[in-house]
């Protein structure tokens, strides 16, 4: 019995000793697992040429100074949640040259943001330049240059690479861009010049642009889920033979603010084949569907003109879209013989449009536009559309979902192939795709590095 007791005591002492040793060892491992203290983020100035593959990390911020060029063959990758600011004094802008790529693939929870370097409360439209992507897809101009920069050349021409890939823009905001470089010459919030269909453009918000929100110069790129918020010039501008598809877009305008350029006015859409209305091919023939275009209440600036200004031999088509706003000229303006003939001859089409303005059709074949099979609601009342109560509010996030029983929910036409199938008129049915990633108050957002 005594031997057994002695043996048990020895065993117990061994277990306790081993436990203490394990405990000490685990404690040491936990300390080692912590590793070095995380390196704090920093503001990195970027200027000149980017000549090697580069990644911008979300923990840092990046300050663009002057014209920054991503050179051909180089990929710029931007992590989700990264903030990039544009310097005002040097008119900072980012150019993705033909043959280069940008991979700015944000997420709904962590969008990528290009914004002003000015302090909250003092930001303005045109605080910096903008984002310009240049590709090798077809255009009806060859070796053309972008207004404002006028150095880099976009190959263009009818034999370009339609499937050219300039990268990915997804869940991305561009704020306070569009600075004037010369008199009446600005860069847009987002410029897409000769960009090909291999490029992804999805979930993009452009706010307070000093020029157009988005302008396409030729190219074949498709785009979805676009927002133009409180833009000065045009919301969506198409030129030089752009032939892609654009689906789901919201434009909300401040009536008191319009284009500051002496040479033009402000429209929802402005579309040309080119500046002279030539017959050059490929013809501007993009297809837009599910667009909601609104002007907030109030007296409109004298520079406003039309919701859809289609001119200079453009042949773009618009489907299942809604307009409510006091555009002085009116809603759909097919300006000039060539643009009107494009519609009559079937090169362009306008179906499923709900237009609430002083004059729904400014110019165009009203008999053809009112044909029953087109399902156009021209000159209907605002109340009949049953929009959200704050659909055109400039205070906070606007309401985007039509109310129950709205004709916008089911009144559209069957869309052509290549567009996502639906019969919704406007950008929204029963799903709010603006949730989480958008910002309708960038003026007061704290963008300081944390």
Give residue 450's pLDDT: 85
Cross-strand pairs, 361: 332
- What pLDDT sits at residue 272? 98
Cis ω before 282 (30° cut-off from 0): yes
Q: How far apart are CA 410 and CA 375, in angstroms?
A: 11
Cα–Cα distance for residue pair 6/222, rounded to 1 Å: 84
Q: Which pLDDT score, from 0 to 100, does residue 36 have?
A: 56
Residue appearing with tokens 């991305």: 172
Opening angle at CA 150, ends 145 and 152, nearest 5: 65
Closest CA to 328 of 298, 308, 358: 358
The beta-strand segments (E) located in 269-424 are 269-271, 287-295, 306-310, 317-324, 330-334, 350-356, 361-363, 377-378
Cα separation, 121 vs 152, whole angstroms: 35
Supply the DSSP symbol for 382.
T
Instruction: State the pairing for strand pair 154-156/142-144.
Output: antiparallel
Contacts of 78 (CB under 8 A, 6+ apart): 55, 56, 84, 102, 103, 104, 105, 106, 112
Q: Is 423 helix (H, G, I), strand (E, B) or coil?
A: coil
Q: Residue 32, Cβ neighbours under 10 Å: how many? A: 8
pTM for the whole structure: 0.91
- What count of other Cβ atoms lies within 10 Å of the Cβ of residue 388? 16
Beta bridge partners of 303: none
Tokens of 442: 């960038």
Rounded Cα distance, 211 and 232, in Å: 6
The neighbour count for residue 417, using CB atoms within 10 Å, is 5
Q: What is the DSSP string of 351-398?
A: EEEEEESS-SEEES-HHHHT-GGG--EET--TGGG---TTTT-SSSSP
* DSSP 8-state assignment for residue 303: T
Cα–Cα distance, 96 to 231 (Å, whole number): 23
Tokens 């990633």, residue?
Answer: 437
Q: What is the pLDDT of residue 92?
A: 97
- The CA distances from residue 91 to 68, 258, 343, 420, in Å, are 10, 21, 41, 39
Q: How many CB atoms lie within 10 A of CB 28?
A: 10
Q: What is the pLDDT of residue 3?
A: 38
Q: Are 78 and 84 in contact (CB under 8 A)?
A: yes
Assign 244 to helix, strand or coil.
coil
- Listed residue (289, 195, 209) closest to 252, CA to CA: 209
Tens-binned pLDDT, residue by residue, of the chain (450 aa)? 433 333 333 433 343 343 433 333 334 444 444 445 566 799 999 999 999 999 999 999 999 999 999 999 999 999 999 999 999 999 999 999 999 999 999 999 999 999 999 999 999 999 999 999 999 999 999 999 998 898 999 999 999 999 999 999 999 999 999 998 876 678 999 999 999 999 999 999 999 999 999 999 999 999 999 999 999 999 999 999 999 999 999 999 999 999 877 778 999 999 999 999 999 999 999 999 999 999 999 999 999 999 999 999 999 999 999 999 999 999 999 999 999 999 999 999 999 999 999 999 999 999 999 999 999 999 999 999 999 999 999 999 999 999 999 999 999 999 999 999 999 999 999 999 999 999 999 999 999 998
- Contact indicator for 357, 385 with CB cutoff of 8 Å: no
CA distance 120 to 142: 42
């Amino acid at each position: 019995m005594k031997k057994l007791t002695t043996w048990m005591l020895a065993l117990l002492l061994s277990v306790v000793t081993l436990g203490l040793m394990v405990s000490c060892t685990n404690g040491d491992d936990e300390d080692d697992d912590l590793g070095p203290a995380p390196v704090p983020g920093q503001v990195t100035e970027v200027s000149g040429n980017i000549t090697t593959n580069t990644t911008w990390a979300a923990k840092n911020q990046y300050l663009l100074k002057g014209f920054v060029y991503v050179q051909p063959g180089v990929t710029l990758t931007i992590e989700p949640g990264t903030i990039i600011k544009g310097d005002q004094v040097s008119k900072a802008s980012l150019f993705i040259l033909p043959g280069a790529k940008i991979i700015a693939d944000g997420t709904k929870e962590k969008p990528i943001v290009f914004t002003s370097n000015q302090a909250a409360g003092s930001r303005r439209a045109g605080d910096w330049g903008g984002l310009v992507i240049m590709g090798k897809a077809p255009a009806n101009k060859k070796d053309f240059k972008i207004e404002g920069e006028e150095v880099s050349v976009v190959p263009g021409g009818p034999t370009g690479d339609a499937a050219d890939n300039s990268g990915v823009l997804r869940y991305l905001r561009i704020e306070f861009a569009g600075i004037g470089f010369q008199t009446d010459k600005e860069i847009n919030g987002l410029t897409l010049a000769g960009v090909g269909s291999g490029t992804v453009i999805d979930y993009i918000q452009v706010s307070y642009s000093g020029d157009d929100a988005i302008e396409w110069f030729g190219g074949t790129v498709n785009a979805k889920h676009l927002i133009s918020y409180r833009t000065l010039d045009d919301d969506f501008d198409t030129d030089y033979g752009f032939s892609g598809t654009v689906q789901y877009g919201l434009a909300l305008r401040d009536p008191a603010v319009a284009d500051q350029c002496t040479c033009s006015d402000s429209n929802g859409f402005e579309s040309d084949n080119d500046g002279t209305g030539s017959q050059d091919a490929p013809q501007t023939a993009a297809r837009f569907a599910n667009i909601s275009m609104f002007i907030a209440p109030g007296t409109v600036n004298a520079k406003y003109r039309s919701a859809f200004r289609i001119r200079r031999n453009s042949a773009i088509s618009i489907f299942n879209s809604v307009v409510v706003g006091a555009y002085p000229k009116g809603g759909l303006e097919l300006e000039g013989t060539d643009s009107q003939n494009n519609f009559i001859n079937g090169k362009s089409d306008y179906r499923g449009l709900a237009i609430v303005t002083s004059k729904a059709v400014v110019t165009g074949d009203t008999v053809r536009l009112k044909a029953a099979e087109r399902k156009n609601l021209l000159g209907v009342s605002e109340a009949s559309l049953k929009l959200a109560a704050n659909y055109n509010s400039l205070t906070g996030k606007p309401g985007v979902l039509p109310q129950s029983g709205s004709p916008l929910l089911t009144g559209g036409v069957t869309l052509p192939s290549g567009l996502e199938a639906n019969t919704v008129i406007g950008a929204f049915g029963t799903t709010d795709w603006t949730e989480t990633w958008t910002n309708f108050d960038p003026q007061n957002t704290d963008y300081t590095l944390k």
